[in-house]
Amino acid sequence: MTAHDSFAGRAARTLAHLAEAAATPLLPADYLDLVAPLRSGAHRARIQAVRAQTGTATTLVLRPAGRWPGHRPGQHVRLGVEVDGVRHWRSYSLTSPTASDGTISVTVSAHPQGVASNHLVYRAKVGDVVGLDGPDGDFTMTSPVPDKALFVSGGSGITPVMGMLRESIDALPDAVLVHSARTRDSVLFGAELRLWATEGRLHLVERITSDEGRLDADEIEALVPDLDQRETWVCGPNGLVDDVVARYDARGWSDRLHVERFRPSRAAAGDGGAVTFVRHGLTVEADASASLLDAGESSGVLLPSGCRMGICFGCVVPLVEGTVRDVRNGSLTSADHGDAVLIQTCINAAAGPCRIDA
């Protein structure tokens, strides 16, 4: 291949990407993503529909911009929303099947202290643009589907399960869902689940904890007599998940158990803080004026870098947890525990305790 052929090929691919982008919702910054795809997670999405689920939960239908890789129902994505000048990233399970119209959906439940969740549930509107990262996760349906399937969920733990059911409900010969919620009105997707049950497509057991108390492994085993024969997916509060995991371990059924856990919230933003370089196993105290790159180098941690000005994107690493501040304009980026939000270490400083995958 000649240099001219190589250049012509790259030019053709770039023009194709630009043509594709012209038909999707983009911000001016998205065009930079075409040549620097790692600079911000490389995806954004426009909210196409907002649908109330319960008084404290909302389904958002999103149309991703640019080249969306597709997803498997049950996976999660991270949404980035700006609230009062702070960019918050939070993970939400996909509730949509593999759609043919190019949209995806997530269902968000508001939490009392949840800045991002309250914004998305009560203030998000059609036309808003959000950051989009992912999809990720292996809490998905097996292939081929099992002859007997059991889903156990609590509260908003139903969201990844709903994605799998919407995709596979007609392919599953025998599907049981045991779901717990505080009240009957707070059951997410209640009408759809009950319709499937009425039609005989799903055996549904609802546990209303305000009346009947907490669901545990003893009751699940009593409710599902052939538990030992079922491929099982469980998602919900950690107490419920831990109880089910312990029971399956004790019975020797762990190879048929698929688990998704809720995660804790991140620490609040501050000025400076402890920076943990995960791969190096080192934590250092960093001043609010010192970039993460400088903080690492001054402690003997060699990080990837280039221009050191925020232009070349040679210093991009995942922020696993915590909050960082862009030293150029003061904007904040946060990540929940276990997330991997891409940031540039040369232009971001610690805004409280944070952990980066470096």
Cis peptide before 135 (omega within 30 of 0): yes
By three-state DSSP, how is residue 183 classified? coil
Encode pLDDT of 35-70 as tens digits. 443 344 447 899 999 999 999 999 999 999 877 888
- Both tokens assigned to 223: 């409710």
DSSP string, 16-79: HHHHHHHTS---HHHHHHTT-TTSS-S-EEEEEEEEEEETTEEEEEEEE-S------TT-EEEE
What contacts 226, CB < 8 A, 6 or more positions away?
Answer: 148
Residue 22 Cα to chain centre, angstroms: 27
Arithmetic mean of pLDDT, 173-195: 96
Strand 76-83 to 129-136 pairing = antiparallel
Length of the chain: 358
| CB-CB contact of 141 with 175 (8 Å) | no
From residue 192, how far is each of 39, 65, 162 by CA, in Å? 40, 29, 10
Encode pLDDT of 298-357 as tens digits. 888 888 887 777 777 888 999 998 889 888 777 888 888 767 788 989 889 999 899 999
Q: What is the pLDDT at residue 269?
A: 60
Q: What is the pLDDT at residue 6?
A: 39
- Residue 249 and residue 185: Cα distance in Å, rounded? 34
Residue keyed to tokens 């392919």: 171
Name the nearest CA neighbour of 92 among 160, 9, 24, 22: 160
Q: Which domains does the chain have, with CATH numbers?
A: 3-136 (2.40.30.10), 149-261 (3.40.50.80), 273-356 (3.10.20.30)
What contacts 80, CB < 8 A, 6 or more positions away?
Answer: 41, 87, 88, 89, 130, 131, 132, 133, 341
Encode pLDDT of 94-132 as tens digits. 999 997 788 999 999 998 878 889 999 999 999 999 989
- Residue 159 and residue 151: Cα distance in Å, rounded? 11
Encode pLDDT of 269-306 as tens digits. 667 899 999 999 999 999 887 889 888 888 888 888 87
Q: Which amino acid is at 93?
A: S
| CB-CB contact of 105 with 77 (8 Å) | no
| CB-CB contact of 274 with 316 (8 Å) | no
For residue 65, how many other CB atoms are within 10 A of its CB? 22
Name the nearest CA neighbour of 161 among 138, 136, 140: 140
Encode pLDDT of 14-27 as tens digits. 444 444 444 444 44
Strand 104-109 to 175-181 pairing = unpaired
311 secondary structure, DSSP code:
S
DSSP string, 16-34: HHHHHHHTS---HHHHHHT
DSSP string, 108-160: EE--TT-HHHHHHHHT--TT-EEEEEEEE------SSPPSSEEEEEEGGGHHH
Radius of gyration in angstroms for the set of CA atoms belonging to the chain, rounded to a whole number: 22
User: What is the model's pTM?
Assistant: 0.68
Please, is 6 exposed, middle or buried when counting C-beta atoms within 10 Å of its C-beta (0-12, 13-18, 19+)? Answer: exposed
Instruction: Please check the confidence at residue 174 and state whether its pLDDT lies above 90.
Output: yes
- Both tokens assigned to 179: 């779901």
